[in-house]
Amino acid sequence: MTNDINRSHHDREHAPPGPHILPAPLISKEVYLRDKCKWLPLDTDRLARSIFVRIANNEQLGAAFRLWLLAWGERPAGSLPNDDRWLSDAAKIAHQRWSSEAEFVLHGFVACHDGRLYHPVICEMAQKRFDQLKGRQRGAALSRQRQQAKRENRRNKRMSEVRKMALATPPHSGLP
């Protein structure tokens, strides 16, 4: 037996793609939208023209749509656990039929080395929305800082005026 297999890639994250190695997740673990964005954008034109809509029947389309909705709210967004029982329950397809329906229902999902399935289109939309929300949060934080600085500036001005008035007023002798 020859030992000509390249074993230099011990870290899965940086290993070259191949049939024996699953790819890294398509989106960062920090991308989570359930609490911040409860709506999933739907690119109707992109979906209507997709291969999936042409090959799937209505039941498969409905099951896939349920999984897309769940993937949007998962952590990380755009992913689902790679567990047939969980997936068949979530898709509302009987366990005994899942193996024959899974190919259609999971169309577009990619298995990654963290044990989850990722949908590239949902990950793309989730990342875009997450970046927008982070930008708004940064903008809101800067606005709060500016407002706080203005309040402190007004307070310091009032205190300065009070001090000036106190210095300009002669001290009372205490006698009427």
pLDDT in tens, 60-92: 999 999 999 999 988 998 999 999 999 999 999
pLDDT at residue 25, rounded to an integer: 86
108 CB-near residues (< 8 Å, 6+ apart): 52, 119, 120, 121
User: Given strand 110-111, what is the order of strands in its sheet?
Assistant: 79-81, 116-118, 110-111
Lowest mean pLDDT among 2-11, 71-80, 89-98: 2-11
